[in-house]
Structure 1
Amino acid sequence: KTQLRRYIRYNQTAPEPAPAAVYDCGGLYIDHESHTCTLYSKPLSLTPLEFEILWYLCSRKGHVVSSEELFEAVWGEKYLDSNNTVMAHIARLREKMGELPRKPKWIKTVWGVGYKIDE
C-alpha cells in the first residue's frame, strides 16, 4: 500500500493547458473553432491546408518551425527529402496576405532552419 501511495503521489502530472482557440498576432486574427482568419479586419480566403499551416505557425509564435515539422504536423505524413510542398504553400499564403516576397512581415524565413511568425 505504501509503494502504491508513493507511486500515485509522486507520478502525478499536471494537466496540460488547453490549446488556445484564437490567436491574435498584431493584426492577424485566426479562430480555429469558426475556421476564420482576418488580416487587419479583412477576411482571408484560405484553403484548409493554408489555414492549418498558419494555425500551426501561430501556435508556435516566436519559435522557428522546420519544414519537416510543419509538413508532418499539417499533412500527418512522414517528410520526404527535396519536398517543396511546404515552400509552395507558404508562398501562396504570403501572396494571399499581400506580403512582399523579399520582405515578408508575417511569415519569416529563417534560412536553413524553417519558418516563424514573430511575437
Structure 2
Amino acid sequence: MTVLTSLPISLQTILLLLASNVFMTFAWYGHLRNMATAPWYAAALVSWGIASLEYLFQVPANRIGHTQFSVGQLKIMQEVITLSVFVPFAIFYLKEPFKLDYLWAAMCMVGAVYFIFRNA
C-alpha cells in the first residue's frame, strides 16, 4: 500500500476504482458463467461475498479521490472505469459478441467526462 500512496492522488483513485470494478463485475456477472445451474440465492451469497471485497477498494478510492475531485467527477470516473472493465469481461470471460453499442456507450461517456470536468 505504501507504493500506492507515493503515486499522485488521481492515479491512486483510478487504480483503486479499477480494482474495485474488477471485483464488482465478477460479483454482478461472474455467476452467469460459474454458477449458472446454482440456485439464485447461492449465487447471491457468493456475489455478496465478492462485493464485500469490492468495498475495500471503493471506499478508499472515494475518500482519497474526494480530496481532489468532486463527487460528480468521482462518479463519472467510476462509470467510465466500469464500462472499461465490463466490456472486456463480457467479451472474453462471458464470451458475449462484441457490439458497436459498446463503442457508442463509450462515446457518450466521453461526452459525460467532458461536461463534468470542463470547469475543473
Q: TM-score, with normalisation over the residues of structure 2?
A: 0.29
Q: Which has the larger radius of gyration?
A: 1
Higher-RCO chain (CA-CA 8 Å, sequence separation at least 6): 2
Q: TM-score, with normalisation over the residues of structure 1?
A: 0.29
More strand by share: 1
More helix by share: 2
